[in-house]
Chain A
Amino acid sequence: MFDLLGIPPQVLFSQLLLGLINGAFYAMLSLGLAVIFGLLNIVNFAHGALYMMGAFGAWMLLNYLGIGYWWALLLSPLMVGLFGVLIERLLLRWLYDLDHLYGMILTFGLALVITGLFRNFYGATGMPYTLPPLLTGGHNLGFMFLPNSRAFVIASSLIVCLSTWFVIERTRLGSYLRAATENPALTEAFGINVSLLVTMTYGFGVALAGFAGVLAAPIYSVNPTMGSDLIIVVFAVVVIGGMGSILGSIITGFSLGIVEGLTKVFWPEASATVIFVIMAIVLMAKPAGLFGRSS
């Protein structure tokens, strides 16, 4: 086998894989943020906390009700989505006429409440979530070993992201959504229930976070702060990509994950900060973000 700059290919590829997995989470979370921001003009600070709720949802289903991973993939996002509907109807609804900053501050408070509650009941240490038997083991691809669980995360994240893109850009429902994003008053005049659309959009965006959480449960340990640091990186991803484009969010998410993975190979100390450095460079070169429309 070949060596790349003195780095064995196994190391390189396994870090690339890890990067791709991180990228899958960045993509799903920034996609949800972008969809929510497009219609509600709210930066959902609670996104990380809701991602954590998704993971906990899966853990609770397994440990309290004996419901396994596959059903959790469906049920947990659904519960998180319903919780999101409640948040939108009870809290966010009152903020639409105000400065966008209030939405961010309110969801920040929500994130504190949710994280704090889970920490009170489950402590700060992580809890393991056992893999379903179907996902244990893996395949030897010749140049590297590919565990099934990781391949599954990447594949399902890609499927979910691309179907979201398809629904928004290519279907009638998506056209309503895009119309409402562009001009809610006019869309309402055409007889479309924008208020319901807003609620559903928030619920869906949040369910995406919940889905990401379930995917994360067997890979990372389930703990109350798992979303807190992640959400800040996702914010940087969103600034780099710009929130104007659905496909842009997906591409930016995955590529930044890969860049982070590569940095881990070549300069491990910088891997935690590389995304923020890229953000600084993008701010200098193209302030609106790579896929953003300049305001």
Chain B
Amino acid sequence: MPTHSSVPVAAPFRKLGMPRYHLMIMLGLAAVLSVAPFLLYPILMIKILCFALFACSVNLLLGYAGLLSFGHAAYFGMSSYVAAHAAKVWGLSPELAILCGVGIAVLLGCIFGALAIRRQGIYFAMVTLAFAQMVYFFALQAPFTGGEDGIQKVPRGALFGLIPLADDKTLYWFVLVVFFACLLALYRIIHSPFGQVLKAIRDNEARAVSLGYRVNQYKFIAFVLSAALAGVAGGTKAIVFQLATLTDVYWTMSGEVVLMTLIGGMYTFFGPIVGAALVVLMQNYLASVGDWVTVIQGLVFVACVLLFREGIVGFIASKLKRPL
């Protein structure tokens, strides 16, 4: 399998360590996403972008560190609550509100991450799920979250206090910039020496230990980075939809995002984006069938695990014989 070092790299992007075909995909993605709001409902596109970030955060752990977190709703949801609270009650501008959300996600990620990495495999998944459920109960009882009602009518405010975000198109461009900034940062992290060590841990933890790597420190940092990214997604979502509710912290959300990663391809960089787009579109077009959405999602889960484990992008990557 060709590694990216053997592929000719466009000079300005050598620092990013991005092979040309990845660059083409990024540019293609940017082009499609720039045209999309003129063809599709911008709010739907923003929803896709937020969930794509969220799915990427899960995939940083699952795909690159081999850790299945079944509790990422905790970071997504709490960030969404704190961002909504900061924007509505403290009157902060949207970028600061989102930063507050990311702050709480990082804090939670530090606490739960430090504890969860003490167990491996399925225990790790159960521990993260249990902690997320604890956060859910907290959100259910804490006064500032508004219980069953959630935090509604969050003001979108003005970016840096200058650019009002009330218009959906303006908002879309803002989210698109956030999305690409995070995506490039994530790309850099995954293709850095740090990312290589993560993959080594994923493939054979004992070997990484014997090579002298402090495996737990790497896992911990990956966990916190992943929680932070989930926080960006959650905070942005709260500002865009002007709403933070219990749905965002509930375990079904954690499951949904794992499904997105799985459909897209969990060992690929671009897979979660595709998966998120598909799941969000599916929910959007199946909204009329009510509870059947849950059944269909469950069936997709089962079918993916049995028949299509590599996911869509993973399948394409194996056909092209290139990592995507």
Chain A residues packing against B (C-beta within 8 Å): 37, 43, 91, 94-95, 98, 100-102, 104-106, 108-117, 119-120, 228-229, 232-233, 235-236, 238-239, 269, 272-273, 276-277, 279-280, 283-284, 287, 295
Contacts and interface: CB of A to CB of B under 8 A. Distances in A.
B133 A276 contact: yes
Q: Which of B70, B251, B262, B304 has the most CB of A within 10 A?
A: B70
B251 A232 contact: yes
A279 B127 contact: yes
A112 B297 contact: yes
Interface of B: 68, 70, 115-116, 118-123, 125-127, 129-131, 133-134, 137-138, 140-141, 251, 255, 258, 262, 290-295, 297-302, 304-306, 309
Given A91-B306, A105-B258, A112 B295 contact: yes
Given A98-B309, A272-B140, 15 more contacts: A43-B125, A100-B122, A101-B68, A101-B125, A104-B125, A108-B258, A111-B298, A113-B298, A116-B291, A116-B298, A232-B130, A233-B130, A280-B131, A283-B115, A283-B127
Contacts of A277: 134
B211 to A, nearest CB: 20
Contacts of A233: 130, 133
A111 B136 CA distance: 20
B150 to A, nearest CB: 18
Contacts of A116: 291-295, 297-298
A269 B255 contact: no
Nearest to A118: B291
Contact of A276 (B116, B134, B294): B134
B264 to A, nearest CB: 14
Given A283-B115, A283-B127, A110 B291 contact: no
A110 B137 CA distance: 25
6 contacts: A100-B122, A112-B298, A112-B301, A113-B298, A114-B298, A276-B134
Contacts of B291: 116, 119-120
B310 to A, nearest CB: 12
Contacts of A276: 130-131, 133-134
Contacts of B140: 272
Q: Which of B251, B294, B300 has the most CB of A within 10 A?
A: B294
A238 B141 contact: no
Nearest to B118: A287
Contacts of A119: 291, 294
Contacts of A102: 305, 309
Contact of A235 (B130, B138, B255, B297): B130
B306 A236 contact: no
Nearest to B293: A116
Nearest to B299: A113
Contacts of B301: 105-106, 108-110, 112
B125 A284 contact: no
B136 to A, nearest CB: 9
Closest 5 A-B residue pairs measured CB to CB?
Answer: A109-B301, A112-B298, A116-B294, A113-B298, A116-B295
Nearest to B141: A269
Contacts of B306: 91, 94-95, 106
Nearest to B300: A109
B115 A272 contact: no
B297 to A, nearest CB: 6
Contact of B294 (A98, A115, A280, A295): A115
A92 B304 CA distance: 13
A14 B232 CA distance: 46
A273 B134 CA distance: 6
A10 B103 CA distance: 45
A238 B126 contact: yes
A3 to B, nearest CB: 28
Q: Which of B126, B262, B299 has the most CB of A within 10 A?
A: B126
A275 B131 CA distance: 10
Contacts of A110: 298, 301-302
A284 B115 contact: yes
B305 A106 contact: yes
A116 B299 CA distance: 11
A228 B298 CA distance: 14
B113 to A, nearest CB: 12
B295 to A, nearest CB: 4
B137 A272 contact: yes
Contacts of B137: 272-273
Nearest to A95: B305
Given A104-B68, A116-B291, A236 B126 contact: yes
A239 B300 contact: no
Nearest to B126: A235
